[in-house]
Amino acid sequence: MAGEATGAPGGTGVEVHWRNLTTGGPWTVEQYTPTPDANGIWLLSIPNANPLHRYEVYATYDVKESLSCTYAGTGSITWC
């Protein structure tokens, strides 16, 4: 995953929330919170993610929350 934390104060960590839609799993908050680079860009991956499963993801940082994004489980990049 990657995102842009536009307008976040310096040093702000991004909290990533995800769930596996294929297995019907609960929302999980990743323990690692990536810090955006100088351009506000952050990167993170879901540990042991199965590329054939569907996932829903959203991120929060500072006082902002992104829209959710759904990965279709097709093995290809999903842009949201």
Average pLDDT over residues 19-45: 90
- Residue 58 within any structural domain of the chain: yes
Which range has the worst mean pLDDT, 33-37, 46-50, 51-55? 33-37
User: Which domain does 47 fall in, by range?
Assistant: 2-71
- Distance from the first to the final alpha carbon of the chain: 11
- Residue 17 within any structural domain of the chain: yes
Contact residues for 47 (Cβ-Cβ < 8 A; gap 6+): none
- Residue 80 within any structural domain of the chain: no
- Residue 56 within any structural domain of the chain: yes
Whole-angstrom CA distances from 49 to 6, 25, 40, 54 are 27, 13, 25, 10
- Residue 28 within any structural domain of the chain: yes
- The pTM (predicted TM-score) of the whole model is 0.81
Average confidence score pLDDT of the chain: 87
- Residue 78 within any structural domain of the chain: no
Domain tally, the chain = 1
